Amino acid sequence: MSDILQGSVLNLTHESKGVVKIGHFPVFIKNSLPDEDIEYKITKKKSKFAEGELVRILKENERRVSPPCPYFFECGGCQTQHMDDSLEIEFKTESVKNTLSRHIKNIKVNTCVSKHLYDYRNKSVFHVREVDGDVHIGFYKDKSRDIVDVNYCMIQKPIANDIIKTVRKLIKTYNISAYNEKSGKGYLRNIIIRSNNDNSEIQVVFVTNSESPINKRFVEDLVHAHQMITSVIQNVNQKRTNLVTGRESRVIHGNERIQDKLLGKTFKLRHQSFYQVNHGVTELLYQEAIDRAQLTEDDIVIDAYCGVGTIGQIASPYVKKVIGIEVVEEAIRDAKENAELNDRTNTEYHVGKAEEIMKQLVKNNVQPDVVFIDPPRVGTDKDFLDAVLEVAPDRIVYISCNPATLGRDIKILSEQYEIDDVTPFNMFGKTYHVEAVCSMIKKTT
């Protein structure tokens, strides 16, 4: 389509694309690295930037490595396998720093904490699709609804890959049809596998395009082949939607939940509940969050966006009371039961939007000393931040999976809070995504 151009890569975008400039006009080129001279083609031109495709590397960055995964250049799941680990860490540190600096001048960002860059994902979401009469199981291509049919994914835990291998065979044996997105026909849409840290409990969720029950023998053969599967759920999703799961779920083998341990506390999880995907990095992240909170025995702590109660329950032995807030009803049911399981008598949970519950707590004169904030990628709602500023806790610890919304939100809090340094955590190795923790102390005047 377009001519082949030459350029030098200057730096990386937050999505890890190399930036080449034509005059002042930036072109973003996937899989190119800083300090490389490259040939590229323009694939999409917008008014302020263009997207390009790497054609040939003329001078290579010495920290470029050959991606170990054979699907890397096709699959949209990973973006940084062509970087050695030290370059990935540097990229994530810089990426967090650049994004936050747009909101807070001179913010100090520590080196990204990183381990388990492969084989880490304890929750795998495989798409199942019918393509020309064949069953494809895998992940979306970059910016596409087409599936890369994978035999193995290097960032999933190996047990998930083993289970998918068996499922592939059983789909053939029992002639189970795969979903076709265009026609809306076909039975099996997704397979979600979640395992605890030592693989002693594994949950498999089959998302189906119909209410008809899954073939019993198919499930029996699967759990016979993988006896660590302690929970099999059928979830029904008949909607033509991007959302993976539907509202209706039923247990078809074993328990409704699996159980894991984090920093000495036990957490049971229903499939609807959020849980961090990289166990080793999560423990480091939560320990850092708790250390930064400087907890004392008289503290009242709010654990906002609490999921199944992880951060608050790990913090609870050191404080007077923990109040958890979470919008997903199933997660709050898990949180309450986890509190019992962990013998925590100083926790209280509220189901609802953090912005609404927080306002309610302020009305009821709840005066927290510490607020943990751990929202989804969109960050918090302005009403939530206003309520936090009104109640003005001494300390705030903000855990974020999106530096852009972290920057936006801490800028608002910085009216009344001194912002400490920020530590990024490599929760999502070999992708451009990054987690970060930031703490704040109330200004004295």
Residues annotated as part of the active site: 401
User: How many residues are listed for the chain in this entry?
Assistant: 445
- Mapped onto helix, strand or coil, the DSSP state of residue 313 is helix
CB under 6 A: which stretch of 106-114, 148-156, 210-218, 368-376 binds ligand SAM?
368-376
Tell me the closest approach of the beta carbon of residue 357 to ligand SAM, in angstroms. Answer: 7
What residue numbers does the annotated binding site for S-adenosyl-L-methionine cover? 276, 305, 326, 374
Tell me the closest approach of the beta carbon of residue 107 to ligand SAM, in angstroms. Answer: 22
Q: Is 70 in the site for ligand SAM (CB under 6 A)?
A: no
CB under 6 A: which stretch of 58-66, 196-204, 319-327, 402-410 binds ligand SAM?
319-327
DSSP state of 316: G
CB under 6 A: which stretch of 15-23, 231-239, 272-280, 336-344 binds ligand SAM?
272-280
Query: At 324, which helix (H) or strand (E)?
Result: strand 321-326
Tell me the closest approach of the beta carbon of residue 267 to ligand SAM, in angstroms. Answer: 8
Q: Which one, 36 or 299, has the nearer CB to ligand SAM?
A: 299
Q: Which one, 130 or 326, has the nearer CB to ligand SAM?
A: 326
The alpha carbon dihedral of 349, 352, 355, 361 has a sign of: negative
Gap between the Cα atoms of 16 and 125, Å rounded: 23
Query: At 8, which helix (H) or strand (E)?
Result: strand 4-8
Count residues binding ligand SAM (CB under 6 A): 19
**Among 310, 316, 431, 439, which residue interacts with ligand SAM (rule: CB under 6 A)?**
310
CA neighbor of 230 nearest in space, from 274, 208, 199: 199
Tell me the closest approach of the beta carbon of residue 298 to ligand SAM, in angstroms. Answer: 23
What residue numbers does the annotated binding site cover? 276, 305, 326, 374
Q: Which one, 190 or 400, has the nearer CB to ligand SAM?
A: 400
Q: Which one, 77 or 309, has the nearer CB to ligand SAM?
A: 309
Q: Using H for helix, E for strand and C for coil, what is the string for 119-176? A: CCECEEEEEEEEECCEEEEEEEECCCCCEEECCCCCCECHHHHHHHHHHHHHHHHCCC
- What are the C-alpha distances in Å from 441 to residues 328, 390, 415? 29, 15, 11
Site for ligand SAM in 76-115 (CB under 6 A): none
- What are the C-alpha distances in Å from 120 to residues 156, 160, 165, 205, 278? 6, 10, 18, 19, 5
- What are the C-alpha distances in Å from 373 to residues 113, 217, 293, 411? 20, 45, 11, 15
Q: Which one, 317 or 352, has the nearer CB to ligand SAM?
A: 352
- What are the C-alpha distances in Å from 59 to residues 6, 15, 82, 84, 263? 11, 22, 15, 17, 46
**Among 117, 170, 281, 331, which residue interacts with ligand SAM (rule: CB under 6 A)?**
331
Helices (H) and strands (E) in the chain, counts: 9, 22
Q: Is 374 in the site for ligand SAM (CB under 6 A)?
A: yes
Q: Is 311 in the site for ligand SAM (CB under 6 A)?
A: yes
The bridge status of strand 435-442 relative to strand 417-425 is antiparallel
Q: Is 306 in the site for ligand SAM (CB under 6 A)?
A: yes
Tell me the closest approach of the beta carbon of residue 414 to ligand SAM, in angstroms. Answer: 22
CB under 6 A: which stretch of 3-11, 188-196, 244-252, 320-328 binds ligand SAM?
320-328
Site for ligand SAM in 426-445 (CB under 6 A): none
Task: Name the residue number minimizing CB distance to ligand SAM.
Answer: 307
Amino acid at 166: T
Q: Which one, 109 or 306, has the nearer CB to ligand SAM?
A: 306
Cβ atoms of residues 157 and 80 within 8 Å: no
Q: Is 305 in the site for ligand SAM (CB under 6 A)?
A: yes
Residue that the structure tokens 């909607």 belong to:
239
**Among 126, 139, 275, 425, which residue interacts with ligand SAM (rule: CB under 6 A)?**
275
Tell me the closest approach of the beta carbon of residue 236 to ligand SAM, in angstroms. Answer: 21
Q: Is 324 in the site for ligand SAM (CB under 6 A)?
A: no
**Among 54, 178, 325, 373, which residue interacts with ligand SAM (rule: CB under 6 A)?**
325
Q: Which one, 252 or 300, has the nearer CB to ligand SAM?
A: 300
Tell me the closest approach of the beta carbon of residue 425 to ligand SAM, in angstroms. Answer: 12
Gap between the Cα atoms of 380 and 407, Å rounded: 11
Buried b (16+ CB within 10 A) or exposed e, 280-310: ebbbbbbebbbebbebeeebbbbbbbbbbbb
Query: At 341, which helix (H) or strand (E)?
Result: helix 329-341
What is the distance, to the nearest Å, from the Cα of residue 207 to the centroid of all Cα atoms in its chain?
20
Tell me the closest approach of the beta carbon of residue 307 to ligand SAM, in angstroms. Answer: 3
- Residues binding ligand SAM (CB under 6 A): 274-276, 305-307, 310-311, 325-328, 331, 353-354, 374-376, 401
